[in-house]
Amino acid sequence: MRLEPLSEPRRSRAIAGLCEELNATGTIYPGTKLRLVYSVKGGQVPTVTGVPAQA
């Protein structure tokens, strides 16, 4: 699932952090062998030790 960036970069970083946590669960879409992958449009948001970077 690709999410649109939010109104402020800090909000997009927060959502990107949630995406990382959801991706780490390795959730499979029910009834398939497809793994759900979450991201925010516009590329990877840099993180340091799992904490979103400050702007």
Domain interval for residue 40:
2-52
Question: How many structural domains are present in the chain?
Answer: 1
For 30, other C-beta atoms within 10 Å of its C-beta total 6
Integer angstrom CA distances of residue 11 from 5, 8, 27, 30, 49: 8, 5, 24, 29, 18
- CA 48 from centroid of its chain's CA atoms: 15
Quick one: pLDDT at residue 11? 94
pLDDT value of position 42: 85
Q: What number of H helices and E strands is found in the chain?
A: 1, 4
| pLDDT of the chain, 55 residues: tens digit per residue | 999 999 999 999 999 999 999 999 999 999 999 999 999 998 655 444 454 544 4
Beta bridge partners of 17: none
Residue 44, pLDDT score: 55
Residue (of 48, 36, 47) closest to 12 by Cα position: 47
